[in-house]
Amino acid sequence: MSERSSGFGAFLLGIVLGAVAGFVFAPTEGGETTRRKVSKGLHNLKELAEDKVDEVRGLLKEAKEEAEESDAEEDDEPEVTTREQLRRRLEAARRRRARPPAASDEEDEPLA
């Protein structure tokens, strides 16, 4: 099925390219105007592509700078090891267990 689809796509592409070539190489005065329009359009397209490439380069440069800044900030803080994280969690759990349980609101309500 994909071979048939790609063959049909190639056929349509051939039709389009043939029509464009016919307009560009037409011997009449209309052909010259078409050639000028096409070359002007291609020139404008080239300029647009260059502008977009510059824009993407700027975005990539900004993203790289932000990443480097965040890496520098992370380097300032000491890295907490897994063992230290577990120790802190264990201490917090012991403190929670050592506290007396708070009286809940459910015990103060009268039963019906």
Strands (E), the chain: none
CA distances from 83 to 19, 78, 79, 86 (A): 72, 14, 11, 5
pTM for the whole thing?
0.39
Domain ranges of the chain: 2-98
Range in 11-20, 22-31, 42-51, 89-98 the model is least confident about: 22-31
Residues 80-109 have a mean pLDDT of 78
Is-contact 40 24, C-beta < 8 A? no
Instruction: Return the C-alpha torsion angle 64, 65, 68, 69, nearest 10.
Output: -150
Query: Is the pLDDT assigned to residue 14 strictly greater than 80?
Result: yes
pLDDT in tens, 59-91: 999 988 888 887 766 655 566 788 888 999 999
For 34, residues 6+ apart whose C-beta sits below 8 A from its C-beta are 23, 24, 26
pLDDT at 13: 87
Instruction: Express each pLDDT in 25-53 by its tens digit.
Output: 766 666 677 778 888 988 898 999 999 99
